[in-house]
Each structure stands twice: as C-alpha cells, then as structure tokens.
C-alpha cells in the first residue's frame, strides 16, 4: 500500500535532506583534565566529567576547593615561546641546527655567515684530541 504515490525513497527530492532517525542519544560527556601537584610534590592528573557544561563548571569549582584544602597546587603553565609556531627548541632566528640533533650551530668567527656544530663527538684514538661534529652550514 503506497501513500500518495511515494513508494521509493530514493526518488525523494534531495532538498528535503536526510530524514532524522529517531534514536536514543547517549548523554554527551564534558570533561576537564587537571594537572596538579599534591602537598608532597607528586604530579597528578584528574579528569572531571559531567553531562552538562554547567555541571562541569560546578564540579571543577568544587574540586578546586577540595584541592586547595588538601594543599594541592596547580601545575605550572606550559611555557609559551615567543613565536606562536611552538618550536620545540627555540633558537635565535636564522641560526641553523645540526642535523645530528646537537642543537643550534655556532656562528663562525672566521667566516661570517657560516655556522658550525660545536658538539664534541669523541676523542681522536691517537692524539686524544677532541673530535668535533663536522656539520657546517651551509653544508
Ligand atoms: Zn652536530
């Protein structure tokens, strides 16, 4: 038995969009992870969860009060480097870094504009003199 001739949903106009399925939606869990240090200096993580943002804010406030009573202190804020890119090892602008992971190269005093890696990688087997990383910039 068809209703008003609509027998095939595939021919329904696309502008009507997808029918909204009736289903039970599980409650959305809002959560906040807090990093704190306890009175003895232990680094601890806590996750506060709630089903509404208001409840979450309330729970966080309550938890903060509890933390203060117990002598907890907040973890230090992550260091933000001046450049928003968040370079892992901030180096002065334009200073190349060693491809072997020795960090920032040093500017050559003899050849302006050139850099060398100052890292010591070992000792010469005969002379015992320090052997330096050979990476230079420009290579
Ligand atoms: Zn190097």
pLDDT tens by residue, 100-114: 999 999 999 998 889
The 10 Å CB-count burial string (b at 16+, else e) for 55-71 is ebeebbeebeeebeeee
- Helices H, strands E: what count in the chain? 1, 8
Q: 82 alpha carbon to ligand 1 midpoint, in Å?
A: 25
Look at the alpha carbons of 110, 114, 120, 123 in this order and tell me if their dihedral is positive or negative: negative
pLDDT at 86 over 50: no
pLDDT tens by residue, 22-69: 777 777 888 988 888 988 888 888 999 999 989 999 999 999 999 999
Q: What are the sequence ranges of the domains in the chain? A: 28-78, 106-137
Q: 86 alpha carbon to ligand 1 midpoint, in Å?
A: 23
Helix, strand and coil content of the chain, in percent to the nearest 5, comes to: 15, 25, 60
pLDDT score recorded for residue 10 = 54
Is the peptide bond prior to 139 cis by the omega test (within 30 degrees of 0)?
Answer: no
Q: 84 alpha carbon to ligand 1 midpoint, in Å?
A: 27
Q: 134 alpha carbon to ligand 1 midpoint, in Å?
A: 7
Report which of residues 80 and 18 the model is more confident about. Answer: 18
Q: What is the pTM of this model?
A: 0.39
Average pLDDT over residues 102-128: 92
Q: 121 alpha carbon to ligand 1 midpoint, in Å?
A: 8
């Amino acid at each position: 038995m068809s209703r008003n001739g609509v027998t095939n949903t595939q021919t329904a106009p696309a502008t009507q969009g997808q029918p909204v399925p009736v289903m039970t939606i599980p409650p959305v869990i809002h959560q906040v992870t807090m990093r704190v240090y306890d009175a003895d200096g232990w680094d601890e993580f806590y996750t506060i969860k709630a089903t509404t943002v208001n409840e979450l804010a309330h729970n966080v406030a309550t938890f903060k009060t509890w933390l203060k009573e117990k002598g907890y202190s907040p973890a230090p804020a992550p260091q933000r480097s001046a450049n928003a890119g968040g370079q892992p090892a901030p180096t002065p602008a334009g200073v190349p870094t060693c491809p072997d992971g020795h960090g920032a190269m040093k500017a050559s005093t003899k050849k302006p504009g050139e850099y060398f890696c100052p890292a010591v990688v070992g000792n010469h087997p005969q002379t015992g003199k320090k052997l330096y990383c050979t990476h230079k910039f420009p290579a």
